[in-house]
Chain A
Amino acid sequence: MAGSSTAAPKPGLWALLFAAWLLAAVAALGALFLSEVMGLAPCVLCWWQRVALFPLVVILALALFPPDPRVIRYALPLAVIGLLVAGFHLLVMAGVIPEALAPCQQGVPCKTVQITWFGFVTIPLLSFVTFLTLCGLLLVAQRKSSE
């Protein structure tokens, strides 16, 4: 097993992966709370962000035992996809991208603001910040593991 001889796990790597997993898990549970408990139907763009988010909870958890930096290779693309969709969603909500271009004509319009906390925190903003932080944590973890 020459390829997988990860030697001694780098200190701090576990903590970074754990933080990324915790963030993904809290975000996933939060999304489920909004839709399943509070009954807010997710719009199409929300669904695409969920597609990127939910698998992260599982694969990041699996990479904790034993600590496996190779997970970054699989997790980072998902986080980037989520970030792009969340960014697109924010632009749609802000009206920068016209409604006709938004791929959500039926069901819940993606432009609809369902929740606003403290006057500016909306669900897509939370999603964007979550994916941005996930990308950051994973990039730092990658740096750490390749030192």
Chain B
Amino acid sequence: MKQKNIFIAVVVLLVLVFAAGAFMFKQQQAQQAAALAAQNQAALVRADAPTFGNPQAPVHIVEFFDPACGTCRQFHPLVKALIAAHPDKIRLTWRYAPFHPGSDAVVKVLEAARLQGNFEATLEALFDGQDAWVINHTADVQRIGPLLQNLGLDSDRLQQDFNSPDVAAVVARDLADAQTLNVTKTPEYFVNGQPLPQFGFDELKQLVETELAQHR
């Protein structure tokens, strides 16, 4: 019996140490992320990044995303609904984080479409047809053509902008900013300059609501 008690006590101890260690590590990580974001507001908010909603809105969400990322696709309608639920109170800014192989080319197409005032329609077409061009976690820019056909894009201009160094510079800058802010996964959200304490839509909603309440 004594042996059984020792065994049970050790199992409980191991589980508790693991849980406490995990909790402390996450806590520490969240604090570091918050400090990093606070120190690097310039890398977080770029005036020329694609943005949606009232520019004077009291709550500003910055989203680092990859069009090839499945979770970004799932979050997109949720975030849109969240913004629609608080008209004129929330602004959303997108930052490119093409972490999937091949996704940087797709992001360049997206940025080129934005220069024609077609960012959101193109983004939604890419998300809707994601299964057609993201194969085995690899983005294939050759396959996105059919998705963009009915968006009224000027394809010559799109091609030209796709190859322009300015567009490449925007993508490179966003990736550098993601690195500065230690964004390693997508989607990553910042609300009024603060990272989420933990990833999840509920956490995002809660932080947005806290900020809304403070700026009422």
Assess whether A29 is in contact with B3, with CB atoms less than 8 Å apart. no
Known: A18-B3, A25-B11, A33-B21. 9 other contacts (CB 8 A): A18-B6, A18-B7, A22-B10, A25-B14, A33-B18, A33-B22, A37-B21, A37-B22, A37-B25
Residues 21-38 (chain B) with a chain A CB within 8 angstroms: 21-22, 25-26
Total number of A residues with any Cβ neighbor in B under 8 Å = 14
Q: Count of A-B contacts with CB under 8 A?
A: 28
Which secondary structure dominates chain B's binding surface?
Answer: helix
B15's nearest neighbour on chain A, judged by CB, is A29
A25's nearest neighbour on chain B, judged by CB, is B14
- In the A-B complex, list the 8 residue pairs whose CB atoms are closest, starting with the nearest: A37-B22, A29-B18, A37-B25, A25-B14, A14-B3, A29-B14, A64-B7, A33-B21
Assess whether B14 is in contact with A26, with CB atoms less than 8 Å apart. yes
Cα A128 to Cα B199 in complex, Å, equals 35
How extensive is the interface on chain B, given as a class? 10 to 19
Assess whether B7 is in contact with A38, with CB atoms less than 8 Å apart. no
A65 contacts the other chain (Cβ, under 8 Å)?
Answer: yes
Chain A residues with CB under 8 Å of B26's CB are: 37
Q: Within the complex, what minimum Cβ distance (angstroms) separates A32 from chain B?
A: 8
CB contact under 8 A between A65 and B18, given known A37-B25, A37-B26, A38-B25: no
B4 contacts the other chain (Cβ, under 8 Å)?
Answer: yes
**Residues on A facing B (Cβ under 8 Å):** 14, 18, 22, 25-26, 29, 32-33, 36-38, 61, 64-65
Q: Within the complex, what minimum Cβ distance (angstroms) separates A56 from chain B?
A: 15
Q: Within the complex, what minimum Cβ distance (angstroms) separates B2 from chain A?
A: 10
B26's nearest neighbour on chain A, judged by CB, is A37
A67's nearest neighbour on chain B, judged by CB, is B3
Q: Within the complex, what minimum Cβ distance (angstroms) separates A38 from chain B?
A: 7
B185's nearest neighbour on chain A, judged by CB, is A39
Assess whether A65 is in contact with B4, with CB atoms less than 8 Å apart. yes
Chain B residues with CB under 8 Å of A25's CB are: 10-11, 14
B10's nearest neighbour on chain A, judged by CB, is A22
Chain A residues with CB under 8 Å of B18's CB are: 29, 32-33
Assess whether A64 is in contact with B21, with CB atoms less than 8 Å apart. no
A-B contact pairs, 5 of them (CB 8 A): A18-B3, A18-B7, A32-B18, A64-B7, A65-B3
